[in-house]
Amino acid sequence: MMPDSGVPGTPVRALTERLAACYTGAVHDVLRMMGYDDVVLPPAIKAIAPGTRLAGPVWTVSGHLDRTKTRDECLLGWCTLLSRALPAHVVVCQPHNHEIALMGELSAQTLQARGVLGYVVDGGSRDTELVLAQGFPVFCAFLTPADVVERWIADRFGEPVTIGAVTIRTGDYLLGDRDGVVIVPCDVAEEVIAQAETVMATESDMRTALIGGMDPVDAYHRYGKF
């Protein structure tokens, strides 16, 4: 069973499914109207497979380059990360470098088998064709064959991380699509999702009106958005 979302009476699965039916533009607009400005990850972070959609609560990890670590230390540290990742969550990684890959074929297989929903990293990924074949959602800033061995170690699990201007906490919600990735603070997740659903319904009505020939100024006055 999925853990509770932190919102009384609202299980994680229900919020995840509703958020997955939204799109990032609508969620972003709702958050902005609520006074949240820094909610979108840097535009370089994109899905390795265009059209990928990813939604769910976040589990965070951070790390750093350390070229003094042995092969065994780095690989054991990486396996520890994979072992600790929470099922039914999206792993969000701040590796503090733009040199190496922080995701690959065996890691994607492992996380997927353990029930992790997807992986978002402010860094690199590799084994792209093999990861694509698995269908495991990965959002990253770049691709490279370089890996973590003798180069990188995880140092914090489940603690807040910052990517670009966005501070992300374990338990926050994430939505990723072709436009990018938006973060929804946990304590307003249910309200944001409900408002995004309303926005999308309004946009659907507005779209129909515009296709039917309504003047865009009249449409703006009637629906209050564009």
- Helix (H), strand (E) at residue 140: strand 138-140
pLDDT for residue 8 is more than 70: no
4 band by pLDDT with thresholds 50, 70 and 90: very low
- DSSP labels for 151-197? TEEEEEESS-EEETTEEE-TT-EEEEETTEEEEE-GGGHHHHHHHHH
Q: pLDDT tens-digit profile of 143-171?
A: 999 999 999 999 999 999 999 999 999 99
Check residue 216 and give its pLDDT.
73
pLDDT for residue 121 is more than 60: yes
Higher pLDDT, 222 or 125: 125
Q: Identify whether the C-beta of residue 87 lies closer than 8 Å to the C-beta of residue 114.
A: yes
Rounded to 10 degrees, the C-alpha dihedral 101/63/119/162 comes to -120
pLDDT for residue 72 is more than 60: yes
For the ranges 5-14, 41-50, 90-99, 169-178, which has the lowest average pLDDT?
5-14
pLDDT for residue 48 is more than 50: yes
- Whether this prediction's pTM lies above 0.85 is answered by yes
Check residue 38 and give its pLDDT.
96
Check residue 219 and give its pLDDT.
61
Check residue 203 and give its pLDDT.
66
Closest CA relative to residue 169, chosen from 153, 187, 155: 187
pLDDT for residue 224 is more than 80: no
Check residue 226 and give its pLDDT.
61
Check residue 47 and give its pLDDT.
98
